């Protein structure tokens, strides 16, 4: 890789990380999987959305996703 290729790659990786951090900050945070599952059940009861909890590798907490 040429220096400019490396710089472009690094800049793109930084943008990806920034987007992931912003996404994490916008989501509801749960301390435990059980707490996240309870919130997912309430969401489904209220709005019919099916969500599942996942452990966030950025913050270490739990969030909900509708992705499989």
pLDDT tens by residue, the chain, 68 residues: 566 999 999 999 999 999 999 999 999 999 999 999 999 999 988 888 889 999 999 999 999 998 87
- Listed residue (26, 10, 20) closest to 58, CA to CA: 20
pLDDT of residue 54: 96
Task: Give this prediction's pTM.
Answer: 0.74
Strands 52-55 and 62-65: antiparallel
- Model confidence over 17-29: pLDDT tens digits? 999 999 999 999 9
Q: Answer whether 41's CB lies under 8 Å from 53's CB.
A: no
pLDDT of residue 49: 80
> Per-domain residue ranges for the chain?
3-65
> Which residues lie below 8 Å from residue 27, measured CB to CB, with a gap of 6+?
56, 63, 64
Q: How many CB atoms lie within 10 A of CB 54?
A: 13
pLDDT of residue 2: 65
């Amino acid at each position: 890789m040429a220096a400019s290729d490396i710089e472009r790659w690094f800049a793109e990786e930084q943008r990806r990380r920034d987007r992931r951090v912003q996404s994490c900050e916008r989501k509801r945070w749960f301390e435990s999987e059980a707490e996240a599952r309870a919130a997912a059940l309430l969401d489904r009861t209220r709005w019919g959305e099916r969500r599942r909890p996942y452990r966030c590798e950025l913050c270490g907490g739990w969030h909900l996703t509708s992705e499989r």
